[in-house]
A and B are shown apart, each in its own frame.
Chain A
Amino acid sequence: MTSIDLARVQFAFTSINHFFFVPVTIGLAFLTALLQTAWYRNGRTEYLRLTRFFGTLLVINIAIGVVTGLVQEFEFGMNWGAYSRLVGNIFGAPLAMEGLGAFFLESTFLGLWLFGWDKLPRRVHLATIWAVSLGSALSAAFIMAANSWMQHPVGYQMVNGKPQLNDIWALFTNPVFVWGYAKVVFVSLVTGAMIMLAVSAWQLRHGGEREVFARSARIALIVLVPAMLFTLLVGDELGVIEGKYQPMKIAAAEAQWTTCQPCSFSLFQIGGGNNDQTPTQIIEVPHLLSLLATNHWNGQVVGLNQLQAQYSKQFGPGNYVPNVFIQYWSMRVMAYLGALVLLISVWGLWLIRRKKLATSRVFLWVAVWSAVLPFVMNTAGWLLTESGRQPWIVQGIMLTKNGISPTVSATWLWISLVGFIVLYGTLGTVDLILMLRYSRKELEPERTDADTNASVPAVQY
């Protein structure tokens, strides 16, 4: 493998791993805050017990989310030095804002929430978990602003061949950011709610307290249904916007080599890829691609071959087509799993109406295993976004192959890659074991009337 391949594999590996933990943190922080608010308002102890139960899962997950985020920040300078040097004055700004405005908030208030149970008044203590939730959501906003700039650069001018920031607000009004961030927020709620649902379902199947976990399952479903619905709607709009600014990405997602109008959408295909322009497409739905890519019944989607010709003319000779196989399948995996999650959650909602949620063993079994779905779905989504940007590191400004650190050797890259794989593999396993173990624990015993008004014991390492 060349240095570029190694650097790309490393970034893909570390960022995909990082994004296993990010949506869980954002989603569970919000849900935990919701549970604690319920306890604060109505004083019912089951909400307190649920807050502490799911708060534990949140904290196990946050630890590794934070440290894997640190790797991401260092990696730009370590592996992508030429990129950092060229665009740091734009891309670095939202990263610094993330640290100052969001990460400080999240980390400091997490400590206050964890250890402050018996030291802070209840109202203040409730505010600290909301600060954690806000911090984690804000943090994603700044990171998405930075990432969206790579997809669709805005707010800059070229000075001596180098992009210079000239409008910081443009980064936050970038349509790719607005819709991309909305999608990340909704998908995080989906992930958090799915975990809460799966854990509650496991508890209900294995003799956990029915009253309490039926309640958390209900809350999870009530969040899950709209969040998944919005994820799909926002995702559709994001596709249209990306189709406008990154037509290659969308054309590759349908393996559309020639321009079409109107365009149909194939449910799946056999063959295909960058060397096979005529795969066998199965079950084509007429007009669907036109609708997805342009919002118009008869919209035109420019083919990869035309785009390649146009890019070669504009940017010089080279191959500007992303990996079509990855695009085609990641798009489908993401969309199909999204639809599946929506179906499962609507099924759950229907069971709530029939008052059978806690007793339908089939549904509970499905719900437990569904916990895997959001992770696969999220990974596919990021593959679609990031692989679809290739061969650019910043669309239209810098090619990925020109972005790496010029003097970092392949040996160093191998060492760090293997090191991170071993480290992440070990810690990921430990994290998974702990998450499973704590998901299966019994709830804290119910507090007696006598100590309902007494302080809640703090949490300690």
Chain B
Amino acid sequence: MSLVPFWFIVIAVLWTGFFVLEGFDFGVGMLHDVVRTDEAERRAAINTIGPLWDGNEVWLIVAGAAMFAAFPGWYATMFSALYLALVLLLASLIIRGVAFEYRGKRDAARWRRTWDVLLTTGSLLAPLLIGVALGDLLNGLPINASQNYTGSFWDLLQPYAVFTGVTFVLICLMHGATFLCLKTTDGMRERSWLAARRVAPFTTAAVIGFVIWTHVTASTTFFLNVIELLAVLAAIAAAWLVYEHREGFAFAASTVTIAACVVSIFVELYPNVMVSSTNHAYNLTVYNTASGAYSLKAMTVVVIIFLPLVLIYQSWTYYVFRRRVSSSEFRPREPASPAAENARPGPGAI
């Protein structure tokens, strides 16, 4: 087998891994302000993903770097075409990333409020923009014979692409809400479940719409393929499980939903990687954008060694931080030493 299709699969896996993991981080980021009643609960919400989000975001970086190495033509065209969208995405990710670290560094209400708003906004914009970007790959963009983008910023905002972005935001919301159900206690757990109940029907509807639209855009057959069918079934199952109050299964179903939605884009794309709306003869494919055989071989060795290792130590991280996070951990413990305990867990809080 040529390594070219294999690398397409690797990249699809990396994007899927990114959305499955960072998806609930985005969701928690959007919901942290919704499921809380006070500062302690807000901190509890953020701390459910505290040790995890940074490692999760690396999946995006690796997906980008893998595209650069394996399909330089794809990487070059996609990143220069999506230029302004990516500037916005970078700004969202930057603001969101520093918000985690900085919000607790000063004990002032306005300071925290600012970072909370930025965290929510960044967590909303990031999946929206990435969704639009992935939608554009499939929907088609004006690309000329020399693989260069010839459109403007507004050409990126095709209805299908925007709908993909919105769908991804909704999936991330459900994913985050079910994640919070699993990771919080008491009142927060209740409110997270309520949030999941409110968002689940919209998510399911959006996923069904997205799958059908995707299928119609890219496929000539009548019936949905297996992955698309799976996405629809998982989305329905997730909503049903949320209503049945089965937290673990609901989270599992939302994981399958998000994974199947990402995979279905890549399945419908193949063997294209970017469709040209100017002329289908100009489509970017895995073959006319791929690196040389030697590069792919070298990279294959690297990915076969390192990706399993990454999966092992990231799984271990999830095992270490498997416990629920209670808001009581963030409340001043004893009134005996109010000065030392005030608002921070310990004076060395990082």
Contacts and interface: CB of A to CB of B under 8 A. Distances in A.
Interface of A: 49, 52-53, 55-56, 59-60, 62-64, 66-71, 73-74, 76-79, 81-82, 84-93, 95-101, 103-105, 107-112, 114-116, 119-120, 159, 164-166, 168, 405-408, 412, 415-416, 419-420, 423, 427, 430-431, 434, 437-438, 441-442, 444-445, 457-461
Interface in B99-145: 100-106
Contacts of B93: 67, 70
Contact of B84 (A71, A165, A412, A460): A412
Contact of A96 (B54, B66, B76): B66
Given A165-B298, A434-B102, A82 B76 contact: yes
B308 to A, nearest CB: 11
The interface residues of chain B, by DSSP majority, are classed as helix
Interface stretch (B182-190, B212-220, B235-243, B287-295): B287-295
B271 interface: no
Given A95-B68, A457-B346, A81 B340 contact: no
A77 B347 CA distance: 43
Given A59-B350, A92-B72, A112-B317, 20 more contacts: A70-B93, A84-B72, A85-B77, A89-B295, A99-B66, A104-B58, A108-B317, A111-B54, A115-B47, A165-B292, A405-B80, A405-B83, A407-B148, A416-B87, A423-B94, A427-B98, A434-B105, A434-B106, A460-B330, A461-B101
B90 interface: yes
A44 B147 CA distance: 63
A89 B72 contact: yes
B315 to A, nearest CB: 10
A420 B94 CA distance: 11
B299 interface: yes
B340 to A, nearest CB: 7
Contacts of A423: 91, 94-95
Nearest to A119: B320
- Point out which of B69, B78, B104, B321 has the most chain A C-beta atoms below 10 A from its C-beta: B69
Contacts of B332: none
A412 B347 CA distance: 45
Contacts of B75: 76-77, 84, 88, 92
Contact of B69 (A66, A95, A107, A159): A95
A406 B81 CA distance: 11
Given A74-B90, A77-B76, A405-B76, A96 B50 contact: no
Contacts of B90: 70-71, 74
B348 A66 contact: no
A99 B61 CA distance: 7
A458 B68 CA distance: 38
Nearest to A120: B320
Q: Which 6 A-B pairs have the closest CB atoms?
A: A88-B72, A77-B79, A92-B69, A89-B291, A111-B51, A92-B68
Interface residues of B, number: 79
Contacts of A437: 105-106
A177 B44 CA distance: 45
Nearest to B79: A77
B34 interface: no
B86 interface: yes
Interface in B306-350: 306-307, 310, 313-314, 317, 320-321, 329-330, 340, 345-350
6 contacts: A56-B349, A96-B68, A111-B52, A112-B320, A119-B320, A459-B346
B101 A59 contact: yes
B209 interface: no
Given A81-B77, A119-B320, A89 B94 contact: no
| Max chain B Cβ within 10 angstroms of own Cβ: one of A67, A91, A412, A437 | A67
Contacts of A441: 347
Contact of A119 (B97, B321, B347): B321
B69 A407 contact: no
B150 interface: yes
B302 A63 contact: no
A113 to B, nearest CB: 9
Contact of A107 (B54, B78, B149, B320): B54
Contact of B299 (A55, A93, A116, A460): A93
A99 B55 contact: no
B348 A100 contact: no
A93 B71 CA distance: 11
Given A107-B55, A461-B104, A100 B303 contact: yes
Could you say which of A90, A168, A407, A459 has the most chain B C-beta atoms within 10 Å of its C-beta?
A407
Interface string B231-269: 000000000000000000000000000000000000000
Nearest to A103: B58
A119 B320 CA distance: 7
B1 to A, nearest CB: 19
Contact of B302 (A101, A159, A407): A101
B69 A70 contact: no
B317 A165 contact: no
Contacts of A434: 102, 105-106
A408 B298 CA distance: 32
Contact of A415 (B87, B149, B294, B345): B87
A407 B155 CA distance: 14
B58 to A, nearest CB: 5
A161 to B, nearest CB: 14
Contacts of A408: 80, 83
A115 B348 CA distance: 13
B70 interface: yes
B97 A100 contact: no
Contacts of B71: 88
Contacts of B307: 100
